[in-house]
Chain A
Amino acid sequence: MALTTKVAPPATAARPRRRGRRPGAATDRAGSASRHRRGITRWIVLTLLVVTMLVTLFPFFMAAINAIKTVGDYTAHGPLALPRSFDLTAIKDFWRNVDYTNKLFNSILISGSVAVLGTAISLLNAYALGIGRIKARKALLVTLLLATTIPQEALIYPLYYLAKAVDLYDTRLVVIIISSVMSSAFGTYLLASVLSTFPPEILEAARIDGAGRWQVLRHVVVPVIRPTLAVLMTLFFIWTWNDFFLPLIMLVSNDNQTASVALGSLQGQYTSSPTSLAAASLLGILPAVVFFLIFQRTLTRGAVAGAVR
């Protein structure tokens, strides 16, 4: 995102947040809590918000209960009724028909590689920009941020053409390369701002000890910013997992497709059988929910940091 003028809104907006909740705030609130613990209004508000949340989660619930119904159960009692049977046929059929194991493998391979490669590129860029403070640093960061606003459609046809020209079309490798470079624009921006505040004494001490630039990066910088790198890798993994446009265009053959694309291009084929569509939904939802449960804090923090994307 080109939030790059003197204002630098992401910095002003994101910096205080990254610090998290002020420690004092929790106790202040606890103190006022006793004051609040009466009245019926709060129960009404709570009920209202819980109901709203349940409405939000309703599609997930629908997918889950209908994925395990038999077709007969579905037609007899409709989508809203709780399942009277526990039947995995729809899920098994769907899994076999789209070879979901293979799709999951492709998604993991591509997303995992992008997480590593994208973070590595971001780190090298950020090392030169944030610590090396090379000339034209500002201009380079501005260019990177502007690049993230370019719609993918404005790049996709040349990418498609070039991929064909170098015989990389319909390979997982081309998706890995393109996604890594594209994610590294955001990663570079984030890491460069982290590294520009890296304690100079530490760097100085390492240099006096005779460490070269590469050694400083490996043995001084990386260990210190390891948590940030982990956040970045998680974000890249999930962004790539969820990405739809690039793999849709680059991966045409069944064997190379990702789970996202396989599910997204289902429509129509399965609409005749409501339970298999529910099964497909459920199989798409499950990995996302698993990631969410594991990485919830990283993801929500990432959304805040990613607001600059």
Chain B
Amino acid sequence: MKLVGIVGSNAEFSYNRILLNFIAKNFKKLVDVEVLDIKDVPMFNQSDDQTNSEVIQNLNNKIMQADGVIIATPEYNHSITSALQSVLEWLSFKIHPLDEKPVMIVGASYDVQGSSRSQLHLRQILDAPGVNAIVMPGNEFLLGEVYDAFDEDENLKDAQTAQFLETCIKKFIRFINVVKVIHAPEGMQDVSDTEDLYATGAIDTTVEGIDMSADDWLEQAAEATQAVEGNTYVKLNRGLLTVNQLNHFLNSMPAELTYADSNNQFLYYNHNMEKEDMLAGRRPEQVGSPLAECHPERVFSGVSWVIQQLRTGKQDVVRTQVPTHGPDKFVVHSYQAVRDDEDNYIGINEYVQDIQPIIDWYLEQTGQQLTGGGVDAVSGATSKVDTVAGATVKS
């Protein structure tokens, strides 16, 4: 993952530059951070457009290519510096490299405030429509009394503070990934026309001449194909079972199984429960229906997207968690591509499971416990931070 760190000051000596260098050096196993200076950026003037100058274009390109941006801001007069303000004005005038870019704010200051007010201003500025960055909420890293914060090797002296900074960086990495999901073009566009959800075509195995929507499609299709059943043997790779054995075997699977073919026709589910008792309800008369008739129209785009992922081979399995079953269950829908010996996509195996019992069993067997990820939002920098206003008594 590639980040750029922007030094929010044009001063020759800046603790915020030292802070960003520390981040780049100390967390290089986690992220690749390139520290950028803004001291050569001219003062913004809308009547003297210098968007195409080398220094602004350089910032523009570096930001565009980065997965995220860390801005380190000092505090001047309860706000950010005019130098940083000017940069943000250039980057929101004719060009908009920060548009929808994940941004993390850190800051260092000489006083106890640790840039608290300027960070709030910066959030509001980054939220302006011309800038439109996506700023990570919370995780406020304020480094007060900064003249005493670093040792001679420019490392943070206080281990707790460094630990808190690491937590913030790790969260930012996760935040960037979340933002990527939100902005995946597939998630934004209506892609429902990429799949024939009404199964209007036919493949080699399609049983033609029978109304797919008919409640007794299965009975009609079985008759038309002279399908075997009951105690007739079926030869499989690798084994021999009767149809009854096969049915009971599939019904004993610890998941709800559904098969839809590459023509988007719903052909099978392991029917061992009534619809109301299932995690993802199915009715016997639905078998044979095109997928369009098994889903409400508002999800057509999502369904098509999933099928496209599998059909085109972008993914072999797409998983999604459905949180509507309450806190005692963790229900996962997995859409697994079914491929033949030549690796051609021939359909979907959707299996729906509550994996909570498996996790509980694992924890019980290994004597482990789930924790919140070791994150302590109030530790670290707080020893140097005064979030209560009124520190101005010193002045």
Q: Do A and B come from one complex?
A: no
Interface residues of A (CB under 8 A from B): none
Interface residues of B (CB under 8 A from A): none
